[in-house]
Chains A and B, each alone.
Chain A
């Protein structure tokens, strides 16, 4: 079974600064997808960014980018120019691409606080 680990329960960043959230995963599969979800106080789960394992290029979405290290099974999220609205829980998630079950497996989450 796949596991996802987020080793930082809490992180804080100054507004306008950059922060990196860590995620590692364990899998024996070669085809899979990785995601970062944001959960603000409203509790809504919002997809921030996704990465296909077969793509070598790191995904980028505006101020959000990932550092995908497939051999190391590491998938970190970098938030640049942090804004107050970025304060939330962030979850790293894994999804098999091999039709063995397409559910999301989540890490334990990282609470990000943004200081004005």
Chain B
């Protein structure tokens, strides 16, 4: 158990819908990273937040957005869902903004868009 929690574990929804994925980092960790793992794109970085501020963006679609709240939990919002958004979404946390600190991964949320 990495100490990072993600809810829900599974999510099944229809095209055009909007969903919210939630992540609670390890106690004391200020950084949250979101990654997407899909069959065709592999594991890709989406976005990084540090202590409530956005620090870096990767291949995140405009239909996707994220935020980190004062209690440090983070939410990834996916809207106007398409079949291709079906993937495993990971959240990872670390105790700093950068450097060599390890990122601890949550168990992931499996999103299926029908």
Contact = CB atoms under 8 A, between A and B. Distances in A.
Q: Is B a genuine binding partner of A?
A: yes
A106 to B, nearest CB: 4
Contacts of B97: 99, 102
B98 A43 contact: no
B43 interface: yes
Interface residues of A, number: 22
Interface in B41-59: 42-45, 48, 55-56, 58
Given A103-B56, A108-B42, A44 B35 contact: no
Interface string B95-113: 0011110110101101000
A99 B45 contact: no
Q: What does DSSP make chain B's interface, helix, strand, loop or mixed?
A: strand
Contacts of A33: 100
Nearest to A32: B100
A13 B2 CA distance: 28
Nearest to A46: B105
B88 interface: yes
Contact of B45 (A91, A97, A103): A103
Interface string A6-44: 000000000000000000000000000100000000111
B13 to A, nearest CB: 19
B42 A106 contact: yes
Interface in A74-116: 91, 95, 97, 99, 101-109
Interface of A: 33, 42-47, 50, 52, 91, 95, 97, 99, 101-109
